[in-house]
Amino acid sequence: MARIDRRFAELSAQNKAALVTFVTAGDPSFDVSLEIVKGLPKAGADLIELGMPFSDPMADGPSIQASSQRALKAGASMIKTLDLVTSFRKQDQETPIVCMGYYNPIYVYGVENFLADALAAGIDGLIIVDLPPEEDDELCLPALAAGLNFVRLATPTTDDQRLPAVLNNASGFVYYVSITGITGTQEADAQAIAPEIARIKHHTDLPVCVGFGIKTADHAAAVARISDGVVVGSAIVDQIAQNLDDEGRPKPNVAPAVFRFVQHLATGVLRGRSKAAE
């Protein structure tokens, strides 16, 4: 069983939702980024979403755009992103890693080379925000054939006519974007999200995780109650930004600050399911 499938099966058996944490590879530096990624599972992350830095992240809000720029300024590249995962896998063979980003850096790297190197590094899946199902031949189908999961995004505007196409080649889990617009700019509304998750589940047996607009433990609890997983990105990246000096260099406490915040989110995820069981 693939790592992502195994992790969701384990959590489901324990009536737990997944905490999926996003950080950008190489932010604020390679070494600190690796320290953060290595510490996320112990802090409570069940899956790790690793952003592949890109100069034009059009779907991302100010926090993740700034994170990507910090990483690129510090020398981030696709090769270094793969190196980071390789280093992580030396200590952790269990936690799934999904790389999230845009098609351009993969295209420049070469699809065949990227897929081979991603598998060798220990990446489990991909979320590519700017490749619609109509372009599955570009990357989705080759990725699936290579043994990588391909996670699809569904949004509030993805209607029942569109969903089958979106979910057709999806694997691993479905990422439900809880709000329209860019990341990190609004708050998720669990009451409005619940029927949307139910609607998606009519079309797929895959776990459905919810992201965008989840910033606190209370948000995480509310979303954990109604979904298979809670994705937090901008709020975690903000913890990095808040622990840089005036020159943009990481302070010594940047990784511990991230871990404390992730622990806080993890308690919310657990609380959400415990309340749901009452």
- List, by residue number, the catalytic residues: 49, 60
Q: How many CB atoms lie under 10 A from the CB of residue 160? A: 10
Residue that is written with structure tokens 């510490």 in the block? 39
Please report which residue ranges of the chain form alpha helices under DSSP H: 3-13, 30-43, 62-73, 78-89, 103-109, 111-121, 140-146, 163-167, 190-201, 217-224, 234-241, 254-277
Say whether 51 sits in a helix, a strand or coil.
strand
* 202 vs 174: CA distance, rounded Å: 13
**Which residue carries 């196409």 as its tokens?**
165
Rounded distance, CA 185 to CA 62, Å?
8
Six-digit token string for 129: 């925000």
Q: Of the candidates 184, 223, 234, which has an alpha carbon nearest to the alpha carbon of residue 18?
A: 223
Residue 132: both structure tokens together: 């619609």
DSSP annotation of 133 reads G
213 near 188, Cβ under 8 Å?
Answer: yes
Residue partners of 38: CB distance under 8 A and separation at least 6: 87, 88, 91, 92
Contacts of 13 (CB under 8 A, 6+ apart): none
